[in-house]
Structure 1
């Protein structure tokens, strides 16, 4: 790989205070115990920088002032042999350092603050989770047909239940309402009476609505005219039958004075 194509180095976390301890020989295959390291006398103190280049993480122990490298531990898998936790504390780890010549050694590393140890552990876990996801995505890109497929078919013995009664009720409730045609001025008109029935059935005792109070109805598509917009006036009151202007002098009843006045009126005419 060319130098321009080398992956860049990312800083995962930096912790300012760590101690390094020499490990005593292991008496058995049981886990490491920090209580056996003479914690009051560390071999070296400085800062820890956790970086990543590609899929490999690097634990770098550096001087606090100058940044000079004291030791470096490449980590290709976590959890693994490169980084191990002790059995009696959460602040101490055993790491495997490696020099430029390929020589390896195990040392103990302890964090002054317990929160720094927690951050270091989580940073390593997140990095290798990302490495695993990238590996799975690369495999799917090479073999897209081997990925999981969504199966929507019914399995043997599998059934589905439909509530037909509720569906019919909903259809009946929504199907009974129909829009009414609009009349003049945007008013909705009542539907016509059912066929074969007289319109007088809607009025009890044979009563009919007065024609003087009924409004004109416009059929759909008929233009609005002045006659439709004008409300009909009530019919005039019936007048008494006309009588003979001359009167009936032979059958008139009354006093003589009334008869004399009538005849006088006749003479004057």
Structure 2
């Protein structure tokens, strides 16, 4: 039967350097044994040293990509990444309302590892008001969570409060990633689920600048596990474990913020704390 194989759509921008964006998403999906598809929102000129330029595609072409996938394929989950500006966020939102691509993972990409803005400042409100309410899961890092809540995050208590505020925006589930935190030993993420339950996921912090594409890889892995039928909390744990392993098993590519190793199997070093 056609379309029985698990499929996931990534809705994002490209990375010509191969480490992040749609490229990282498709590598992750392949590694997790699902069939990856893409709606390209923007094209970047990018390497491990930074983003030199980017151009968002005409929204008509975005509409046509959505329609093309919906006419033939059957995604069981989808994720968003770089969406460029308010116009393109809105275009993606309108298309997501028309199709059934399964659970939606929103990775609210705002700034590249090298510091380049990947989302126009005036688009944050559009993400907050239009995209987040559609999300099955939102996965902001600490700077993105600050932007979404307009509040500083300086402690674990602040992370918990930020998750609650983002959930109040309409997201069913929230994962605040702690990779930008100041704990030298652990990178800890806080997960708040729709039923009010919550837990922390921690992995040993690795001293490396080869972390380009971590957010993309995490959200893509979670989408892949959902497409295969996993429970959300298990999918999140697998995503964390996959990223932890992909950072640890470094590969030497580029002179800046290098990419992850997408050939890995999930790490066993990730711990969960439900308190």
The alignment's TM-score, normalised by the length of structure 1, stands at: 0.19
Greater RCO between the two (CA within 8 Å, min separation 6)?
2
Hey, which of these two has a bigger chunk of helix by percent?
Answer: 2
Larger radius of gyration: 1
The alignment's TM-score, normalised by the length of structure 2, stands at: 0.19
